[in-house]
Structure 1
Amino acid sequence: MKIGLIGFGKTGKAVASVILQNEGFCLEWVLRQSILLEHRSVPEFLGVHSDESGLIYSSATISMQELLDKHPVDIIIDFSSDQGIYTYGSIAAEREIKIISAISHYKESEMKLLKELALQTTVFWSPNITLGVNYLLFAAKFLKKIAPWVDIEINEEHFKLKEGTSGTAIKIAEALNVEKENINSVRAGGIVGKHEVIFGFPFQTVRLIHESISREAFGSGVIFVAENLKNKSKGLYNFEDILEPYFTA
């Protein structure tokens, strides 16, 4: 499957590296705002051995229409910003290109747009696209179902420059009916991302912890999602939709 990647920050670079090393996918191009690195080879820039010739393009010098005309793809993966969807969403949906969005926070207007695009193509969104953290969410929901009266605390830790409460932690809180104001946040250098759910039972505690050791974990998550979206019809999907069949099989 041919992939177009939007966003080439630290996480975008890690995701590109993982895609390049997977034989089932081809990274056709990377789109970023800056003109720096324009027309550079992604494998060459990242130092990854690959026969793919995916190039870096800038949205300042090429339109999405022109990019897709020259280099069509099957999936667009978005690691840019909450405004990125306006750049490619409508054009991708018209061409029935699958969309995988890994944006941490979307406002109501962007969520509305995702639902509209899902009427035309396959759309997936997750504020955290790592497989491990979504397994944690699944397990947490099951435990809460077994013991709805249990005390719950949610802790999240991220790198120093990350703004706002983690979108993943908010999603966990919503799933477990915990007030967002009760999420405990830590920001410190060297941390990639860590989420912990503490269940306080009488005489015992259960702790579910997920920690991203490297940003390549997001790339592995992208590959897992893309493989599971191959045969999905039009609609808006999340990680629960993809994981549920594995639990019921």
Structure 2
Amino acid sequence: MKLILVGYGAMTKRVAALAEDKGYSIAGVITPMEEKQCPYPLFTSFNDDLPEADVFIDFSHPDLTKEMLQSAYDRPMIIATTGEKDTLVKLMNEKAKSAPVFFSANMSYGVHIVTQLLEYIAPLMNDYDIEMIEKHHNQKIDAPSGTLIKLLDAIKENGRKDTTEVYDRSQTTTKRDKKEIGISTIRGGTIVGEHEVLFAGGDEVISIKHTAQSKDIFANGALNVAEKLIKKNNGFYTYNNLGV
């Protein structure tokens, strides 16, 4: 495969390294930022005359992702950018009419399995209080994480449609409401990513937890998706309908 990488942050650099280990080539990198250390052909926007490639892989920023989705390019696109989800999903569905488009807020297949577990058990846990905790490194700028929102959506759509998210209990002086879902965000050190969902009942707690020990799980996830996506027809894909 020939890849064009969108953005050139820590995640994209891991994708590039692992892609080359697999024998794939990097046709170019699109980033509006000056990158003196980038060993690949650099392009500042989708208005440039980009080289031929089999797929775009995007771990960037919503602004750059929106530019890609609104560009004239109709190549397979893998999008792992978080933020502005509603806007991006709308644009992805539009682009999917002319290209295969894959989206996941977390490229780990393990997180996909955790999401499916939550979809299954959420309707069974009406008598349990739900608390969600996510931890990331001190350089992450968005909170809560896109992955936590993904897990929260799985719960809300399959058992807690009328829930209320609570992000800061220090601002309240009342008892916890049964419909609340508490959300806690931690930022520190070099934590790659950890997401935990607690179902707290009478005298028992059920915990579902995913811990990322390396960014490589996300990079490898994107490359594994790319191998499948380039063979797909136009359409909007997630882990639920891509096939594994």
Count residues in correspondence.
222
Residue number among 15, 37, 42 corresponding to 1:57 in the alignment: 42
1:29 corresponding residue in structure 2: 28
Decide whether the 8 Å contact of 1:131 with 1:221 is kept in 2.
yes
CA distance 1:227–1:36, change in 2 (3 Å) = closer
TM-superposed deviation, 1:135: 1.5
1:217 corresponding residue in structure 2: 217
Decide whether the 8 Å contact of 2:131 with 2:183 is kept in 1.
yes
SS of alignment partner, residue 62 of structure 2: coil
Decide whether the 8 Å contact of 1:6 with 1:31 is kept in 2.
yes
Identical-residue share of aligned pairs (%): 27
Where structure 2 has 5 or more consecutive residues not aligned to the other structure, the ranges are 157-162, 167-181
For residues 179-213 of structure 1, the C-alpha deviation after alignment (integer angstroms, 9 at most, x for no partner) is 44321111111211110112234443322211111
2:174 corresponding residue in structure 1: none
Over the residues paired in the alignment, what is the CA RMSD in angstroms?
A: 2.3
TM-superposed deviation, 1:229: 2.0
Measure, in 1, the Cα distance between the counterparts of 2:73 and 2:206: 47
For residues 2-21 of structure 1, the C-alpha deviation after alignment (integer angstroms, 9 at most, x for no partner) is 21111111111112111111
For residues 129-186 of structure 1, the C-alpha deviation after alignment (integer angstroms, 9 at most, x for no partner) is 1222121111122222444443322110011232321111112112112544321111
Matches within 5 A, 1:206-245: 206-242=206-242
Residue number among 135, 139, 159 corresponding to 1:157 in the alignment: 135
Structure with more helix by fraction: 1
CA distance 1:103–1:125, change in 2 (3 Å) = same
Q: TM-score by structure 2 length?
A: 0.81
Residue number among 37, 52, 55 corresponding to 1:75 in the alignment: 55
**1:96 counterpart = 2:79:** no
Where structure 1 has 5 or more consecutive residues not aligned to the other structure, the ranges are 42-54
TM-superposed deviation, 1:35: 3.0
Decide whether the 8 Å contact of 2:6 with 2:59 is kept in 1.
yes
2:154 corresponding residue in structure 1: 175
Higher relative contact order (CA 8 A, sep 6+): 2
TM-superposed deviation, 1:66: 0.9
TM-superposed deviation, 1:95: 4.7
CA distance 1:80–1:95, change in 2 (3 Å) = closer
